[in-house]
Structure 1
């Protein structure tokens, strides 16, 4: 994933996205081509890996890997941005775009076919979601039988890249307009990021540009007399 410097996700935000249980796309490569599954993950801090489980007959679990490295795409939020959301659109027409927050995690894929590992992954995932008690009524015997149909899958978090393309490179007034638009649409996460990260960055960037322009004018001096 290409990440321009001004779109880099802050380290603390990256850590939160990595460690909070959430759904993501697991991408693996096989002889017949790539495969992907949308599945929930939890982060195993001791192993330094994202963990999930797959149905045993899923090609990602049943077919050999052509490459040991897999990719997990964890999306936080995204939304269409209309030019009309930018304040400066009335001065200079803009084009539409799409803003988003995402995290790409890649590393060695490990598939454990044992039912014990599968059950542990399922239990820990349910607990990570804050719903561990939901399994009590099922009973250990039934859970053991059900776990034979799934396999545990982990992806080492060897490379973690976060990207927030969130209008940081826009004029501060545009960011403010976008905050209002996202709040009106109920895009709470995007509005919060715009307010807490994008706006301060845009304000600092605009102040720097203004200062440099002033310095250049001062060096150039007054124009020729007429």
Structure 2
């Protein structure tokens, strides 16, 4: 994933995102080409792996994979209309899409044991539902369900996070986006815009202003020197 430095997610933010159970795309590569499945993942912190489950008949299980697997975990995203920009009247723009995502690359291990499948189902359920939900499923039924799937682990060999969140816009544009996205209930994106994007945009604008002042000051000094020579 291409990640300009100013769009990098902090390590703390990335770690927090990984600790939350969420659905993501598991992408693998095979002789016939790439394959992908949208599945839920949870982080096994002690072993440093993302864990999910796949149906046993899935080609991602039955066909030999080439190289590392890729997991794409999107936290939030939203369409951004140029009409929401305060500066759009003087500098018309085009629509874009803001998003927060984490990509994980690593070796994929498939656990075909019944125990591994049951463990994956238990963990995914207990991390998202009250224990009573799992207790309501009797052991024979849980075992029957587990026989149809396999547990899959992806090692955290390379983790990178990216937030394409209008950081390079004018601060007034960011404030306007906050208002527009608040109205649409995009709480995750609004929080990032307010806590990260807006301070960055304000600092960026201040830096640009200082550079212009320095440049103008040098130009005036140079003009004064030239005038004195003549």
Q: Report the TM-score when normalising by structure 2.
A: 0.93
Q: Distance in 2 between matches of 1:196 and 1:24?
A: 25
Structure 2 counterparts to residues 90-105 of structure 1, below 5 A: 90-105=89-104
Report the CA distance between 1:142 and its aligned residue: 2.3
Q: Which residue of 2 aligns with 1:192?
A: 191
Distance 2:89 2:46 in 1: 53
Give the aligned partner of residue 210 of structure 1.
209
Distance (Å, rounded) in 1 between the aligned partners of 2:178 and 2:143: 49
Is 1:128 aligned to 2:127, yes or no? Answer: yes
| 1:40-69 superposed Cα distances (whole Å, 9 cap, x missing partner) | 0000001101100111111111212122x1
1:213 Cα offset (Å): 1.1
- In structure 2, the residue matched to 1:175 is 174
Aligned residues: 224
Distance in 2 (CA, whole Å) between partners of 1:209 and 1:135 is 57
Aligned to 1:89: 88
Runs (5+) with no aligned partner, structure 1: none
Contact 1:123-1:132 at 8 Å conserved across structures: no
Q: How does 1:38-187 map to 2 (within 5 A)?
A: 38-67=38-67, 69-187=68-186
- Whether contact under 8 Å (1:75, 1:102) holds in the other structure is yes
5+ long unaligned stretches in structure 2: none
Hey, what's the Cα distance between the residues in 2 that align with 1:93 and 1:66? 45
Distance 2:112 2:59 in 1: 13
Distance 1:206 1:73 in 2: 32
* C-alpha contact 2:126 2:134 (8 A) present in aligned 1: no
Per-residue deviation, residues 59-92 of structure 1 (Å, max 9, x unmatched): 111212122x100000011111111111011111
Which structure: larger Rg?
2
Deviates more, 1:104-113 or 1:126-135: 126-135
| Superposed displacement of residue 216, structure 1 | 1.4
CA deviations on 1:78-136 (whole Å, 9 max, x unpaired) are: 11111111101111111211111111011000001111001001101111113332121
Residues in 2 aligned to 1:16 and 1:31: alpha-carbon distance in whole angstroms? 35
Q: TM-score under structure 1 normalisation?
A: 0.95
- In the other structure, the counterpart of 1:31 is 31
Q: 1: CA distance between counterparts of 2:156 and 2:131?
A: 25
Q: Which aligned runs of 4 or more in structure 1 are off by greater than 3 angstroms?
A: 222-225
Coordinate RMSD, CA, aligned: 1.3
Is 2:16 the counterpart of 1:12? no
**Cα distance in 1 for residues equivalent to 2:22 and 2:181:** 22
**Distance of 2:130 and 2:42 partners within structure 1:** 13
Alpha-carbon distance in 1 for matches of 2:48, 2:126: 18
SS in structure 2 opposite 1:98?
A: strand
